[in-house]
Structure 1
Amino acid sequence: MFTQIQTDLIRSSFAAVMATRPEMATDFYTRLFITAPQLRDMFPQDVTTQATKLEATLQVALSTLGAPETLIAPLHALGARHAKIGVQDCYYITVSEVLLDTLAAEAGDLWTAETSQAWGALLEFISKTMIEGAKHARAA
């Protein structure tokens, strides 16, 4: 699903960001709440734990780029949990856009159009798969 070039771009850009900006996930939530303040109440006041979960989820996704089908069941389950707390499908677009913006800002000159496209493809896969899980949960 992901080419070797996309895989390399995603992994190398994430490693570079985390090496210089380990607080990237926390920065993401700051940006998210500025961009979409209506989402703020869905999160605890202190987003440290949530930021750790986001980083861990991204690490798992990056480790399975060669076999993204292994992520389908866990992402369906995550989408189902998100549906239970009121996450709407449209929020995934906002989250993806803010995450891309955060990564781009923190990667600096390392962020290229190709890197952005690779990350966009990954986040689209994650979002669509989680939305599928949410829809199954709502239908059940």
Structure 2
Amino acid sequence: MFSTDEKRLLRESWKLVVPVIDTAADLFYRRLFELQPAYRALFPDDMSGQKRKLMGMLGFAVKACDWPDEAWAQDVATDDDLVLVVLALGRRHAMLYKVPQEGYATVGEALIWALDMGLGQAFTKETRAAWSKLYTVMSSTMMMGARQAAKEGAR
């Protein structure tokens, strides 16, 4: 799914994010609400828990996509399976928070912007492409979960 170089770029750039994780989360949400002010109402007043969840999920995704190629064919615990976790996340976002599908593009834009601002020169064209690919995989999977939730709700 990810090339050796993409995995390395994700891993190395994430190591740069971790020491400034609170600032990275602040940048992300600031940009998200600048792009789409109406989304602020979808979140609690105290964003500290939400920021931890976001950064935890990004860290989990980086770790999961860095598995060796042979590990992708092995059985893994449900809580460690990136696809299953992200499918469930998409279902929750659709069922509980009523996140619109068009919101995924805005979130992706805010994420890439925050990484660009936070990493500066370390956010190379190749690093941007790797993060864009990771977000595309995650958002596509979340939308699949959302569509499944909508089908089940229509029954």
Same fold per TM (> 0.5)? yes
Closer/same/farther in 2, CA of residues 105 and 40 from structure 1, 3 Å limit: same
Unaligned runs of 5+ in 1: none
Asked whether the equivalents of residues 21 and 106 of structure 1 are also in contact (C-alpha less than 8 Å), the reply is: no
**Equivalence for 1:23:** 23
**Equivalence for 1:72:** 83
**Equivalence for 1:119:** 131
Runs of 4+ more than 4 Å apart: none
Unaligned runs of 5+ in 2: 74-80
TM superposition shift of 1:21: 5.1
Using structure 2 for the length normalisation, give the TM-score: 0.85
Q: Give the counterpart of 1:81 among 81, 89, 92.
A: 92
TM superposition shift of 1:26: 2.3
SS at match of 2:113: helix
Report how many residues are paired.
Answer: 140
How many Å separate the matches in 1 of 2:72 and 2:28? Answer: 24
Structure ID, larger Rg: 2
Using structure 1 for the length normalisation, give the TM-score: 0.94
Matched AA of 2:86 = L
**Equivalence for 1:55:** 55
Matched AA of 1:86 = K
How many Å separate the matches in 2 of 1:45 and 1:19? Answer: 25
Matched AA of 1:117 = A
TM superposition shift of 1:131: 0.3
TM superposition shift of 1:72: 1.2
How many Å separate the matches in 2 of 1:20 and 1:73? Answer: 28
How many Å separate the matches in 2 of 1:121 and 1:130? Answer: 14
How many Å separate the matches in 1 of 2:110 and 2:141? Answer: 19
Asked whether the equivalents of residues 89 and 131 of structure 1 are also in contact (C-alpha less than 8 Å), the reply is: yes
